[in-house]
Amino acid sequence: MSSFVLTEESFRELRDIIREAFGIFYDDGKQYLLQSRLQTRLAKRGFASFEDYARFLKYGEGRAEEFHELASTLTNNETYFFREPAQLKSLVSAMFPPTGAMLPSLRVWSAACSTGEEPYSLAMTLLETGRIMESAISILASDISPRVLEICDKGYYRALSFRATQPDMIQKYFSPAGDGFLISDRVKRLVKFFRLNLMDEGAIAGVGKMDAIFCRNVLIYYDKPTQKRVVEAFFHALRPGGYLFLGHAESLFHLTDLYEPIVQPDTIVYRAKTDVTAAVGGR
């Protein structure tokens, strides 16, 4: 048997390490998937077996740096501008008063921003309303992967990222560069990028109170206890009545009672309850 075959024992050991570090859970049916994703890390580090790699992640010098690289290897960064537009419309309808008045300020967090298309889409959506001063917009964007955050900082995107973007929006907020486009400084200065692990509840609390949090297509990689832990941490990071936006395949049903679902024709969003007084999660 090849030393690069992931045995059941090593699979369980590695998935426990990964779950503890990142919250990502590989069930018994995903042993081959984990093996294929980790092969590149073994080759890069020069390990002869998954057993050696697991030992390194537990005790090896330099393992902190390896966890940074591993975060990029394990996460799925599939995204594009103006993904799930119904949720962007919901954000505007939820945040802006029907009277047409200007909004004094708005804080939104893209809690798993990947390569940046989501937070930049949020910025452009808010600019398009014409009902909030640019100086009043604060968009925070975090991800666990240092590699994708480098792409965010560059703000350079190719055609695939624009598959749901109207041509007039590209013309308005981007400039041609090589075989792609650069995001405009007007949009870029509205977004602050930083690295954050959603398993770090203290770091989530340090983000401050938000009006809305987007965390789409992330919970599907967690088991139920981890999902509950994360969304309850988000609750404490939201102002009372703030909104949580999840992916279309994700739900808080039977997970927590801290939010009330707001069912709309094309999407469901979750509003943080304002009548919750009991401490949650030991807080």
Give the C-alpha separation, 252 to 13, whole Å. Answer: 29
* 37 catalytic per annotation: yes
Tokens 């949020």 belong to which residue?
A: 122
Give the C-alpha separation, 267 to 246, whole Å. Answer: 10
Query: What phi, psi does 243 have (nearest 5°)?
Result: -115, 140
Which of these is catalytic: 41, 143, 211, 216? Answer: 143
Helices (DSSP H) in the chain: which residue ranges? 8-22, 31-45, 50-59, 63-74, 85-95, 117-129, 146-154, 167-173, 185-188, 201-206, 224-237
User: 113 vs 93, 144, 153, 213, CA distance in Å?
Assistant: 22, 9, 12, 11
74 CB contacts (<8 Å, ≥6 apart)? 18, 22, 24, 37
CA 227, chain centre distance (Å): 13
Which of these is catalytic: 37, 195, 229, 271? Answer: 37
Give the C-alpha separation, 79 to 268, whole Å. Answer: 20
Q: Which residues are catalytic?
A: 37, 143
